[in-house]
């Protein structure tokens, strides 16, 4: 079976430098999450620029309501598999809750573990002012960091809900200030999650580095979605920022039902499928 690649498919491995070149050239950056080898390989073959081993694995893989319980070991396990499947895409590992907040020293140790044990090319962590010094230290020692502002799911217990952030002027100003601070601290890009499109535009225009939006409107330099959402594997999560490009839940359900039926009817395996 031949697999089609986008016409602008570039064979060169994507680097953080390449993402900056894309922003400067006005080329939008495509990003998706992945948590295993098989999916990473499919996304990479299709030409995705960035694969994030998101701590959304807490929801998608482990079935939790939040990302809070994801451990460093979980992230190492999934990142290793994703790195094996990604020949071209930049692989970024999400630092789990409490793996970088206690002290800069611990953050450096844990980011180091992620880089050394998994082969990922960068880490992502959530927050603004509170993590700025840690980010400065990480980037100084050669660990590329992606920031994450707006709705930061690791703070769900403080926010109390997954509603849009930065709708009021005060919070919008804080997010804008944090974005500039993260840029000064050395992040190579910032994820902006669930904020008004106008705020996404303002922040994108105020920064030299790329912004990657998820529910942050069309003006960001790139977009990211959780792959299970955009392929319709997830059925009970339908925020308006998710566009469903497939209905794999239905496809898998239909295929498995047919498989069960074929076994019950004695139609699988047939002669050709037997030795």
Give the residue with the Cβ less far from ligand KIV, 29 or 250: 29
What are the residues binding ligand KIV (CB under 6 A)?
A: 33, 52, 54-56, 94, 191, 214, 224, 226
For the chain, how big is the Rg over CA atoms in Å? 20
Active-site residue identified among 171, 193, 202, 261: 193
Q: How many residues does the chain have?
A: 275
Compute the least distance from the CB of residue 95 to ligand KIV, in Å: 10
Query: Is 193 part of the annotated catalytic residue set?
Result: yes
Give the residue with the Cβ less far from ligand KIV, 131 or 191: 191
CB of 111 closer than 8 Å to CB of 100: yes
Give the residue with the Cβ less far from ligand KIV, 51 or 143: 51
Compute the least distance from the CB of residue 188 to ligand KIV, in Å: 15
Give the residue with the Cβ less far from ligand KIV, 89 or 255: 89
Compute the least distance from the CB of residue 129 to ligand KIV, in Å: 19
How far apart CA 219 and CA 205 sit, in angstroms, is: 9
Compute the least distance from the CB of residue 214 to ligand KIV, in Å: 5
Name the residues annotated as catalytic.
193
């Amino acid at each position: 079976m031949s697999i089609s690649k986008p016409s602008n498919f570039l064979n060169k491995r994507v680097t953080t430098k390449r993402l900056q070149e894309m922003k400067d050239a006005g080329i939008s950056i495509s990003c998706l999450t992945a948590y295993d080898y098989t999916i990473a390989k499919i996304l990479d073959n299709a030409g995705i620029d960035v694969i994030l081993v998101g701590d959304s694995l807490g929801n998608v893989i482990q079935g939790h309501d939040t990302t809070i319980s994801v451990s460093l070991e979980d992230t190492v396990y999934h990142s290793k598999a994703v790195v094996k499947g990604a020949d071209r895409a930049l692989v970024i590992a999400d630092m789990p809750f409490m793996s970088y907040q206690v002290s800069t020293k611990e953050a450096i140790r844990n980011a180091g573990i992620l880089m050394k044990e998994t082969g990922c090319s960068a880490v992502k962590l959530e927050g603004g002012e509170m993590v700025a010094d840690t980010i400065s230290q990480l980037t100084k020692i050669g660990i590329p960091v992606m920031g994450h502002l707006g709705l930061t799911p690791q703070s769900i217990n403080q926010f109390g809900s997954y509603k849009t952030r930065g709708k009021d002027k005060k919070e919008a100003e804080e997010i804008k200030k944090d974005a500039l601070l993260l840029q000064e601290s050395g992040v190579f890009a910032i994820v902006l999650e669930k904020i008004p499109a106008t705020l996404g535009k303002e922040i994108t225009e105020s920064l030299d580095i790329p912004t990657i939006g998820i529910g942050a409107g069309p003006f960001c330099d790139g977009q990211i979605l959780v792959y299970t959402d955009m392929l319709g594997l997830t059925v009970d999560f339908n925020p308006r920022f998710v566009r469903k490009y497939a209905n794999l839940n239905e496809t898998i359900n239909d295929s498995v039902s047919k498989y069960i039926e074929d076994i019950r009817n004695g139609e699988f395996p047939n002669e050709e499928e037997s030795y």
